[in-house]
Amino acid sequence: MDVGIVGGGIVGLSAAHALAERGATVALYERGALGTGSTARSAGGIRSQFSTPVNVSLSRASKRVWNDFEGRFGVDIEYRKCGYLFLARSDATAERLHETVGMQRELGATSEYVDPIEATEYCPGLDPEPFVGATYGPDDGFADPNLAVQGYATAAREAGVEIRTGTTVTDLRRDGDRVVGLEVDGTERCNADYVVNAAGAWAGRIAQLAGIDLPIAPRRRQIAIVEPETPVPETVPLTIDLETGSYFRPERAGIALVGGHFGDADPDVDPDRFDDGMDVAWAATAVEHAADYTGYFGPETRIRRGWSGLYAVTPDHHPIVDETLPGLVTAAGFSGHGFQHAPATGRLVAELVLDGDASLVDVSALDGDRFDRGETATERHVA
Identify the structural domains of the chain with CATH numbers, from first to last: 2-47+145-216+315-373 (3.50.50.60), 79-141+218-313 (3.30.9.10)
Is residue 309 within 8 Å of 276, Cβ to Cβ? yes
**Helices 10-21 & 145-158 angle (0-180, nearest 10):** 30
> In the chain, what is the straight-line distance between the N-terminal and C-terminal CA atoms, in Å?
39
**Residue 64 C-alpha from the chain's centroid:** 16
What pLDDT shows up at residue 265?
A: 64
Q: What is the pLDDT of residues 157-194, one digit of tens each?
A: 999 999 999 999 999 999 999 999 999 999 999 999 99
Alpha helix segments (H runs only) across 190-263: 203-209
Residue among 142, 60, 366, 119 nearest 242 (CA): 119
Average pLDDT (378-382) is: 93
In this predicted structure, the answer to whether residue 36 has a pLDDT above a threshold of 90 is: yes
Is residue 144 a contact partner of residue 77, using CB atoms and an 8 Å limit? Answer: yes
* Inter-residue long-range contacts of 245-250, CB under 8 Å, 24+ positions, other chains counted: 245/289, 245/383, 246/286, 246/289, 246/290, 246/292, 246/293, 246/383, 247/383, 248/290, 248/294, 248/296, 248/297, 249/43, 249/45, 249/82, 249/142, 250/82
User: CA 110: distance to chain centroid?
Assistant: 21
pTM flag (> 0.95)? yes
Segment among 37-41, 66-70, 298-302 with least mean pLDDT: 37-41
Report, in angstroms and rounded to the nearest whole number, the Rg of the chain calculated over CA atoms: 20
Give yes or no for a contact between 275 and 241, defined as CB atoms under 8 angstroms apart. Answer: no
Residue pair 308/278 in contact by the 8 Å Cβ criterion: yes
* Total residues found in the chain within this entry: 383
Task: Answer whether residue 8 shows pLDDT above 90.
Answer: yes
Looking at residue 263, its pLDDT comes to 73
pLDDT attached to residue 37: 92
pLDDT of residue 264: 64
The pLDDT value recorded for residue 255 is 97
Mean pLDDT for 301-307 is 97
Average pLDDT over all residues of the chain: 97
Half-sphere exposure of 15 (CA within 13 A, CB side): 36
What average pLDDT does the segment 344-373 reach? 97
Residue 113's region, left for phi above 0, alpha for psi from -120 to 50, else beta, is beta
- 62 near 108, Cβ under 8 Å? no
Q: Is the pLDDT of residue 266 over 90?
A: no
To 5 degrees, how large is the angle CA 196–CA 197–CA 198? 105
Q: Which residues are paired to 29 by β-bridges?
A: 6, 164
> What angle (nearest 5°) sits at the alpha carbon of residue 309, between those of residues 204 and 380?
75
Q: 34: closest CA among 143, 167, 127?
A: 167
Report d(CA 364, CA 259) in Å as an integer: 32
| Phi, psi dihedral angles at 151 (to 5 degrees) | -60, -50
Q: How many CB atoms lie within 10 A of CB 356?
A: 8
Distance CA 339, CA 143 (A): 10
> Is a pLDDT exceeding 70 seen at residue 257?
yes
- Strands of the sheet with 302-313, listed across from one edge: 112-114, 133-137, 84-88, 238-241, 246-250, 256-260, 217-227, 302-313
* Residue 300 identity: E
Q: Is the separation of the CB atoms in 289 and 244 below 8 Å?
A: yes
Q: How far apart are CA 337 and CA 333, in angstroms?
A: 9
Q: What is the mean pLDDT of residues 109-127?
A: 98
User: Which band of pLDDT confidence, cut at 50, 70 and 90, is reported for residue 294?
Assistant: very high
